Amino acid sequence: MSYCVNCGVELEASLKRCPLCGTEIINPNERSVPDPAARPFPSKVELLERRAARRFFTVMATLMLLIPPIVCLICDVLGAGAITWSAYVIGATAMAYVYVLVPFAAEKPHPWLCLALDCAVTLLFLYAIAAHSAGDWFLPLALPLTLSAAAALAAALLLFRKCRAKFVRLAGLLAAAGLLCAAIDLTVSLYTGRSPVLYWSLFVLAPCLILALVSLVLNRRVQFKEEMRRRFFI
């Protein structure tokens, strides 16, 4: 008769994992029989095939993405004699490339680097639009809104990397969404010359914070039930 090394529950001989806590059961007295169908080492050919397929798809997608900006650029130059509205298409295509294809092309994309690149290319695109239209909205409006969205995404990413509890993750996402709406509301109010007071964002912030508290309470209940199951071997 054997017992789980993690929670101490009694185990049957045929089990591969503990039915209570899910810990893998390894009996050092039993000799493991290797599966003849499984290879003892990963195939280098399969790895090279996956890399080649990823590169092929990246190249094909890049060529397909070049069609809209090139066509728009030709139409713009032939019609207006200069690059005018086609610059927006070129910038949007570059953003789509950085958002989607750059992480896909990397074998192991770093999430923080991808987030920084996304934020940088978004700010660059908005700055180009503001400069092209001679607008003064980049610094007071576009920059704080973009940085607020990037901060919310960074907080969510950090939460998902550090915490495994589903309800805690949900609470963090709800709180980040509510706070992001509040930041957008305050930024727009300051830009339009109104007093820095929350208006419409209160209808989003209040439910998000309440639901975040509900998620934390549910997480506490799940932890309590799991602790009771481990203590009393239920």
Residue 78 has pLDDT above 70, yes or no: yes
Q: State the sign of the Cα–Cα–Cα–Cα dihedral 191, 193, 196, 202.
A: negative
Question: How far apart are alpha carbons 172 and 156 in whole angstroms?
Answer: 7
pTM over 0.85: no
Judge whether 32 lies within some domain. Answer: no
Judge whether 80 lies within some domain. Answer: no
**Could you list the residue range(s) of the whole structural domain that residue 159 is in?**
139-228
Judge whether 96 lies within some domain. Answer: no
Judge whether 208 lies within some domain. Answer: yes
Judge whether 167 lies within some domain. Answer: yes
Number of domains in the chain: 1
Residue 205 has pLDDT above 90, yes or no: yes
pLDDT at position 181, please? 95
Question: How far apart are alpha carbons 34 and 71 in whole angstroms?
Answer: 58
pLDDT at position 232, please? 61
pLDDT at position 31, please? 56
Mean pLDDT of 163-177: 91
CA 184 vs CA 11, 47, 217: distances in Å: 55, 45, 28
Cβ-contact 157, 118 below 8 angstroms: no
Question: How far apart are alpha carbons 178 and 170 in whole angstroms?
Answer: 12
Q: Which of 226, 105, 120 is nearest to 165 (CA)?
A: 226
Residue 36 has pLDDT above 60, yes or no: no
pLDDT digits (tens, 9 = 90+) for 3-20: 777 776 677 777 777 766
pLDDT digits (tens, 9 = 90+) for 189-203: 999 988 888 899 999
Q: Residue holding tokens 């309440």? A: 210
Structure tokens at 232: 């009393």
Judge whether 78 lies within some domain. Answer: no
Judge whether 158 lies within some domain. Answer: yes
Cβ-contact 230, 7 below 8 angstroms: yes
Judge whether 133 lies within some domain. Answer: no
How confident is the prediction for the chain on average, in pLDDT? 84
